[in-house]
Amino acid sequence: MYNKRLMQNPFQNAMLQLDKVAKTKNFGEEFFARLRQPDRDIRISIPVKMDDGSVKIFEGYRVEYNNALGPYKGGIRYHQDTEINEVKALAFWMTIKCAVAGIPMGGGKGGITVNPKELSKGELERLSRGWIQKLSDILGPKKDVPAPDVNTTPEIMAWMADEYAKITGDKTGAVITGKPLGKGGSEGRGTATAQGGFFIFEAFKKELNLSEKCKVVIQGFGNVGSCAAFIWSKAGYKIVGVSDSRSGIYSSAGLDIEKLMEYKKSTGSLSGFSEGKEITNAELLEIECDLLIPAAFENQITGKNADRIKAKAILELANGPVTPEADEILFRKGIPIVPDVLANSGGVIVSFFEWEQNLKNEHWSEKEVFERLQLMLEDSAKKILEKAKESNTDLRRGAFILALEKIKDKML
């Protein structure tokens, strides 16, 4: 049974994507059979002493999908709907993403079924430390390196790194990325996913036939979505719509993103912002615009609404926002999609930079971080375009083919 947000099993969707690649390029059945299963998926129970003295048990996960290219790498998601199939799908996509990015890392992902907004800070810290206590044996800078994802912050990463250091004595911090700056974090990590998405957008703009004046709509106003809104608007693009879990806001004249960020910070919501019209999330996705950026969750553009999408192109900053069924519909409509495994890979690339800096005891400037990031992303974008053209297919399959060639090379 899937709840309203997940609706479809994300792991099945990920495997459908793999099936499509199998039809485009023959990598051999044995290889695909191995890729259909994670190396291991682990479920844990985490007892947490609550502030009222009671003990509550939370369910947690770590999926180590594939480490052919290096240590497992992938974020930890805290959400009330998080469950094993979601984590498996995200871990599979991390495997593809790290390979596309050209970093020596494999794919993993973790999570806890919890609504962190219902916990006090102390409870959240005990829960986060509990996740590490249960998994410290399998984690490590050369084994499995987690990072933040939805609802997990630099502060949570710092608690986790500290707990790992207490248990193992390893104080390099390289066991986990996305830490605060003063605690071994990298310059640029906080905005890396959105910034990377922007570099990718710039690299593909001509290919996608998008102009300097293009109108942008962004779904999700969390870490990735709000940073993206800020970066695109600073670069002079008109952001005509944004949304969060509760509501959306639209202005054909373009939204003042800095004002909107301030507004959300002070009220906790986008609702009631006076310089735009309030719309639903469903309406937001169907706005006529040049670029639609889903930056919230999986399964947002599906067989049910894909026909009504009016954007000229889609750049996936969320993981898995377009289902395989919607992919087909959008392909027929001629709406190109820059896939998540490329578009949002800026986050994991800067995570890899953080890991490298921790291990070498170095600290790179933000300028250096973003210069390196841009070069790597432009290189991946070029290679994916070549692969897609070679096989006469879309960018998602092009990205998968590039990744699978690298993984197969190392795996067999």
- Quote the strand ranges of 80-214, DSSP E: 106-113, 144-148
Q: How many angstroms separate the CA atoms of 103 and 366, rounded?
A: 19
**Span interacting with ligand NAD, options 18-26, 49-57, 143-151, 324-332, rule CB under 6 A:** 143-151
Asked if 109 is an active-site residue, the reply is yes
Q: How many angstroms separate the CA atoms of 161 and 127, rounded?
A: 14
Least distance in angstroms from the C-beta of 149 to ligand NAD:
5
Q: For residues 292 and 285, is the Cβ–Cβ distance under 8 A?
A: yes
Token pair 């719309």 in the structure block, residue? 279
Least distance in angstroms from the C-beta of 280 to ligand NAD:
9
Q: For residues 106 and 72, is the Cβ–Cβ distance under 8 A?
A: yes
Based on CB atoms, which residue is closest to ligand NAD, 27 or 255? 255
Based on CB atoms, which residue is closest to ligand NAD, 27 or 399? 399
Based on CB atoms, which residue is closest to ligand NAD, 48 or 217? 217
**Span interacting with ligand NAD, options 137-145, 316-324, 381-389, 397-405, rule CB under 6 A:** 316-324
Cβ-defined contacts of 380-385 (< 8 Å, 24+): 380/100, 380/101, 380/102, 380/342, 380/345, 381/200, 381/203, 381/204, 381/342, 382/203, 384/100, 384/342, 385/204, 385/207
Give the active site residue among 88, 97, 109, 387: 109
Residues in contact with ligand NAD, shown as a per-residue x/- string from 244 to 273 under the rule CB under 6 A:
xx----------------------------
Q: Encoding tokens for residue 392?
A: 């006469």
Number of residues that bind ligand NAD (CB under 6 A): 24
Residues in contact with ligand NAD, shown as a per-residue x/- string from 204 to 223 under the rule CB under 6 A:
---------------xxxxx
Residue 112 is a binding residue for ligand NAD (CB under 6 A): no
Based on CB atoms, which residue is closest to ligand NAD, 68 or 342? 342
Based on CB atoms, which residue is closest to ligand NAD, 170 or 356? 356
Which of 24, 269, 281, 391 is close enough to bind ligand NAD by CB under 6 A?
281
Q: Kindly state the DSSP code that residue 68 receives in the 8-state scheme.
A: S
Q: How many angstroms separate the CA atoms of 322 and 325, rounded?
A: 8
Least distance in angstroms from the C-beta of 201 to ligand NAD:
15
Q: How many angstroms separate the CA atoms of 149 and 296, rounded?
A: 11
Residues within the interface to ligand NAD (CB under 6 A)? 148-151, 193, 219-225, 243-245, 281, 295-297, 317-319, 344, 347
Catalytic residues: 109
